[in-house]
Structure 1
Amino acid sequence: MEIEWVRIIGFASGLGLLLGVGWVAAYVLSWCWAWVWAWVDDSKAPKKNPLINFAMSRMGWGEGDWLWSYKKDHHNSDGERGFFFPLIALVLIPPFVASAIAIYPITLTVFLAYLIARLARFARRHKKLFDKHLKDPKAHK
Structure 2
Amino acid sequence: MDDLLHKLVSAALTGVLIALVGALSVAARRRRVAREEAAAPAPVEDRSQMLLRQAQQLDDSRDELAAQGRQAEALAQAREAAALWRELTRVRPGRFQAERRAALGRLSELLAAMGQGDQAAQVRQEATGLS
Scaled by the length of structure 1, the TM-score of the pair is 0.26
**Greater share of residues in strand:** 1
**Greater share of residues in helix:** 2
Scaled by the length of structure 2, the TM-score of the pair is 0.27
Structure number with higher relative contact order (C-alpha < 8 Å, ≥ 6 residues apart): 1
Larger radius of gyration: 2
